[in-house]
Amino acid sequence: MPPSGTFNYLAVVPANFPEDRSSPWPVQLSSRVDKIGEPPHDSRLTWFSPQLTITDGGPTPNPSTSRPAVRRSRFTLTASGRKNSSISSASFYVDRDLTNIFEPGDKLYMARTGCGGIGVSLLRNDRLVFAVGAISSVPLGNEVKAATPRDLMQEARTIFERCDPNFEFRELPVQISVGDHARIMFGGRERIGDYHIWVEHGFLPGIHGVDGCAAISLDGACASVAASASAQLLNGGELEIIRW
């Protein structure tokens, strides 16, 4: 999708959040937009500086093995004007237990990728507390990294093509590193240092591609169950949209 359907936002948890959870937060771009004078490139989904409102999202409707039955928080990004915004507002959901651990001054990052995946991360004093959904699209602090190991996969593909010239990987794994320790995962749970890792699936190639879905949570600061449930809620990039 064009850049006008994406976003990379940063919001700082306000000082009054523990007492007042319903007031809008100011949001800003977390990366610079170099304008070229063309709206599909210069715009973002909900403008450059929308407002974020976090409200009670109720229980998960029609829960299943891929949609956990949890109490949710609803994140709504609302544009303050039509200029450089594609829509009026967009909403998505995470497990409410994630928002219960927010502390004033934490940095909340939210992103929507060109594949339509949604990622959310929270940093406290530049250290990752959690990342959920399309985790490679959001900052992960100084200690943690996540990416698709495309160079390694290309090497492996070359080996398989010796036998089958038409060989293709149906899924690309996610490589998660904490310090000097790394894991390459298609799915499942691991622990690396102080972090719990859960992977629903890696990147799925296709015409548009599907971002990998995973969760990283800091032991003692964020419940791994709430992180993995949130990743599942974000899986597929579903948004509730209000147009102008």
Please give the chain's pLDDT, 244 residues, in tens. 999 999 999 999 999 998 898 899 999 999 989 989 998 899 999 999 999 999 999 999 999 999 999 999 999 999 999 988 999 999 999 999 999 999 999 999 999 999 999 999 999 999 999 999 999 999 999 999 999 999 999 999 999 999 999 999 999 999 999 999 999 999 999 999 999 999 999 999 998 899 999 999 999 999 999 999 999 999 999 999 999 9
What three-state secondary structure class fits 71? strand
User: What global pTM score does this model have?
Assistant: 0.97
Distances (CA, A) of 46 to 2, 20, 147, 172, 200: 14, 24, 26, 30, 28
Task: Identify which of 202, 4, 31 has the alpha carbon closest to the alpha carbon of residue 109.
Answer: 31
Task: Identify which of 208, 207, 176, 214 has the alpha carbon closest to the alpha carbon of residue 193.
Answer: 176
DSSP string, 2-16: -GGG-EEEEEEPPTT
List, in order, residues 6 or more apart from 32 with CB less than 8 Å away: none
Total residues found in the chain within this entry: 244
Side chain identity at residue 227, one-letter code: A
Residue 60 near residue 70, CB atoms below 8 Å: yes
pLDDT score, position 170: 95
Task: Identify which of 210, 181, 176, 175 has the alpha carbon closest to the alpha carbon of residue 193.
Answer: 181
